Structure 1
Amino acid sequence: MPMLLIKGFYEIKGTQPDGDTVHFTADDPAEWSLVGGGGGRAVEHNTMGRATLRLDAIDALETHYGPARDHQPLQFTDAARDELLKALGFTDVQRQQDETVTAATPETVPGFILTRGADVHGRCVALAGSGVPPGTSGMDIDVDVAVLRTTVNHHMLTQGLTYPTFYRSLFTTLRTELAAAAKEAREARRGLWGSDVTTTGAKITGLPSLTDDVVILPKLFRRTVDYLRLAMPLSCYPAFLAGVQDRFSVLSTGERHTGLQHVVEVTNGDMVRMTQQPEDLVFEEA
């Protein structure tokens, strides 16, 4: 899978990193213009070349979703954030009460990213690694499974601290490897998987049950929070999901759908569950 390699460094002071988002500064800011072949969505960055990364193919539990900054169980949001920073090479991370990093050792960590594009928010969607890059910066390289396994994206799935969340731009060979890593972590009940109820059923009694107790796929969390804000009974939730119109495919059946109501069901009035495992779904980018 050809992906653009950009060499640079990670710096977290003054930011609020989480388990799937971190700041990265390109050694050559001009190389951001190469993302997406120069004709796709632009990566938003400052004059020094600093941009926000959204780590491809993984989704950590939410730390501050929406205007009310709703979060998922903090035990796992914090664990994912801490493991990501550790995997990149940061230690002794100090934070303010609002989670803004005030100091870390070292101040910057050299690394690289592998990317094919940006999301609708201007974040670079990337595989991320630290240390010596596997090629020349500013050039496309072939990203195989061996390279994928050196990235923090792969590491976070093996640790069971993020969910697999796939989009169509990810090549099949890489998706298959990441799905296998997630499945192995789930079967070992590693990390969040020991508490996950995405497919077994989450008892939803109100927002506090989502923010403090229930461990589910972040995309399902976001949709459920948005619905609960409408103060309507859960019996109408499938209709709401139909209106949101998430587009995705189910790999095991080959079916293509619009709306998560095709893979989400409400039972007993307050139980919400997905009928497919997260790695069985491939979403279309918004």
Structure 2
Amino acid sequence: MTMLLIKGSFQVKGTQPDGDTIHFTPDDPGEWDLLGSGGRAVKHNVLGRATLRLDAIDALETHYGPNRVHQPLRFAHAARDELLAWLGFTDVQRGPDETVTAATPETVPGFALTSGADVHGRCVALVGRGAFQRVSGVDVDVDVDMLRETANHHLLTAGLVYPTFYRGLFPSLRTELTAATQQARASGQGLWPSDATTTGAKITALSSLTDDAVILPKLFRRLVDYLRLDNPSLACFPAFLAGVQDHFTIMSTGKRCAGLHSIVEITNGQTVQMTRPPEDLVFNEA
């Protein structure tokens, strides 16, 4: 899979990084323009600083939506802390709102391998640390060996994030990330012993999502948006999902779906579960 290599540095001071997003400044800000005019542009400041979203993974939410709703923070923070430590940050200090007030060092070198931005203007990337022995601003053929050297692969191997695949990811890379996910699950790494995505999470109130249920973040976000409608019953949740229309393919069957209601069941009026594991789904970009 060919992706653009951009070298630069990561920064965390004054930001609220989580397990799958971090700020990055290219050595040459003009390299953002090399992503082409056909796709979405990466939003950045005058120095080129932009937000990176790590491709193919989704960490538990630390602050979702206007009310900054979070998932169980034990695993949300574990993914965030592992990402920062893997990149090379130490002694990270935070304020009460989780904004980083200090870190050692203030910046660390690294690189992004990317094909473009998401709907929010965040650069979607495979993230690497340290020096990269190739010229920046060129297309690189990303193979499985290179993928294994990224934070994306590392966090899945550690079982600290969920796989969340989109159609733009090359099949061989998706296969490798699926294998890493299944190995982490089988060996009980990270969040997997607590995962209730396919076994069922009992949802009686918003606190069930913030304090108890460890589930795929995409499902969490849909549940939070539904509960904000002040409907105490989950009976209408499938209809809500049908209206949202997340488009995806179930890879094991080849079935194309328009809405998570196709793979979400409600039992006993309170238990929500997906009938397919996250790694079996490939979503269309919004």
TM-score range, shorter chain: over 0.9
Q: Distance in 2 between matches of 1:91 and 1:194?
A: 28
Deviation per CA, 1:18-76, whole angstroms, max 9, x where unpaired?
000000000000000112x3421100111111100000000000111111111000101
Moved over 4 A (4+): none
Instruction: Quote the residue 1:60 is aligned against.
Output: 59
State the Cα distance separating 1:228 from its structure 2 match.
1.1
Count of residue pairs brought into register by the alignment: 285
State the Cα distance separating 1:134 from its structure 2 match.
4.5
Instruction: Quote the residue 2:15 is aligned against.
Output: 15
Q: Distance in 1 between matches of 2:135 and 2:164?
A: 28
Which amino acid counterpart does residue 64 of structure 2 have in structure 1? Answer: Y
Compared CA separation, residues 98 and 234, structure 1 to 2 (3 A): same
Instruction: Quote the residue 1:46 is aligned against.
Output: 45
Q: TM-score, normalised by structure 2?
A: 0.98
Instruction: Quote the residue 1:203 is aligned against.
Output: 202
SS at match of 2:191: helix
SS at match of 2:156: helix
SS at match of 2:236: helix
Q: Distance in 1 between matches of 2:203 and 2:13?
A: 37
Q: CA RMSD in A?
A: 0.7
Instruction: Quote the residue 1:174 is aligned against.
Output: 173
Q: Distance in 2 between matches of 1:177 and 1:218?
A: 21
Q: Distance in 2 between matches of 1:204 and 1:224?
A: 9
Please say if residues 90 and 105 of structure 1, whose CA atoms lie closer than 8 Å, have aligned partners that are also in contact: yes
Which amino acid counterpart does residue 241 of structure 1 have in structure 2? Answer: L
Query: 1:74-93 to 2 correspondence within 5 Å?
Result: 74-93=73-92
SS at match of 1:223: helix
Please say if residues 134 and 147 of structure 1, whose CA atoms lie closer than 8 Å, have aligned partners that are also in contact: no
Query: 1:2-151 to 2 correspondence within 5 Å?
Result: 2-35=2-35, 37-151=36-150
Which amino acid counterpart does residue 128 of structure 1 have in structure 2? Answer: V
Q: Distance in 2 between matches of 1:198 and 1:77?
A: 16
Q: TM-score, normalised by structure 1?
A: 0.98
Which amino acid counterpart does residue 43 of structure 2 have in structure 1? Answer: E
SS at match of 1:154: helix
State the Cα distance separating 1:106 from its structure 2 match.
1.1
Provide structure 1 residue ranges, at least 5 long, that are not aligned to the other structure: none
Instruction: Quote the residue 1:244 is aligned against.
Output: 244
What percent identity do the matched residue pairs reach? 72
State the Cα distance separating 1:264 from its structure 2 match.
0.4
State the Cα distance separating 1:135 from its structure 2 match.
2.2
Q: Distance in 1 between matches of 2:264 and 2:207?
A: 21
